[in-house]
Chains A and B, each alone.
Chain A
Amino acid sequence: MINVYLHGPHWFLGVDAALEALAGVIALLVAFASYKAWRLTGERKYGWFTVSISLLTVSFLSRALTDALLREVFIKLPERIAGLVFYAGYVTHIMLAFLGYIILIAITHKIHDRRIVALLFLTLVPSLLMSGSYYRTFYGLSLVFLAFITLAYYQNYKRVGNKASALVFEAFALLTAAQVQFLVQGFYILSTQAWNFLFVTAHVTQTLGFVFLLAALLRLKSAAARNPKVVCVQVVRLKRQV
């Protein structure tokens, strides 16, 4: 027997699924931009970045679909089927998100040794299997991973110093902040009102993080469209600095 836990206030059921779907769509746009860079250059780093963000895309879309089904947005599921949907949907969400985060850590921290990447992923297996709460373990580990990714993007912002890199750093800082809220909310130590409030704010913070990623992407597109020559000159200047 699989228990299905529905978090959050009643009015928010279904809204959370919509926000997760939005996150998935934005991640898909970032993955597509990275795929185009990979097609043009053929460089591995763009290929791995595409894989990482694609995994996050599928992870968030899987979570959105699972939540929409469990909140009976489309159809009413029998209890047994709902249990299976809950298990399959959340396991997919958790495993793909972790894999995506680990690849992103390897890319942003320039970890080239595949054994270390494999080690990172393998340490997750006992962490999840021996955990008393998948919910808390998932958000706890996500918090650690995203904090490391945010650190890399902060260092990148300090090095590059433009608006797009600032938006990417802020996006991951917001995603990290969302994990803190999910984690605190998962400890059931708060009143129901505070518990529900944190569930809503965590989702909103997470969505804001993805909106910031979209803003960074749009800024790159508009910068190139506004004045392609200026962009070329900037690239030349940067290359000279290197």
Chain B
Amino acid sequence: MKRAKIDIVYDMLKAIEEKGGRILPTHLLYKSNLSHQRMKIYLEELKQRKLIVETDHKGKMMFALTDEGRKFLQDFAKVKEFTEAFGL
């Protein structure tokens, strides 16, 4: 089943959260199940929307979840509950 854009965004942010708030690009690529090209496009959008930031951790480049990213995850969970209840 084809994932909607919003589901891909959720999967990527969730993957970062489950890794303790920051993740290596290769791990994110594996967890989000996207091609390298598509992941780059999504990463740009997530950065533009300030949901994630690039950080340097022990000399390695990582992607970290921002407060907006955490809030998005919470709001998205509410939307999912709403979707289920109202059969959308």
Contacts and interface: CB of A to CB of B under 8 A. Distances in A.
Interface of B is mostly: helix
Interface string A30-51: 0001101100111101100100
Interface stretch (A62-70, A94-102, A125-133, A160-168): A160-168
Nearest to A109: B87
A43 to B, nearest CB: 6
Chain B CB within 10 A, most for which of A33, A37, A162, A239: A37
Contacts of A37: 79, 82-83
B86 A43 contact: no
Interface residues of B, number: 25
B41 interface: no
A232 B1 CA distance: 21
B80 A235 contact: yes
Grouping DSSP codes into helix (H, G, I), strand (E, B) and loop, the A interface class, with mixed when no group exceeds half, is: helix
B77 A235 contact: yes
Contacts of B75: 36, 40
Interface of A: 33-34, 36-37, 40-43, 45-46, 49, 107-108, 152-153, 155-156, 160, 162, 164-165, 167-168, 216, 219-221, 223-224, 228, 231-232, 234-236, 238-239, 242
Interface of B: 1, 4, 6-7, 10-11, 14, 17, 72-88
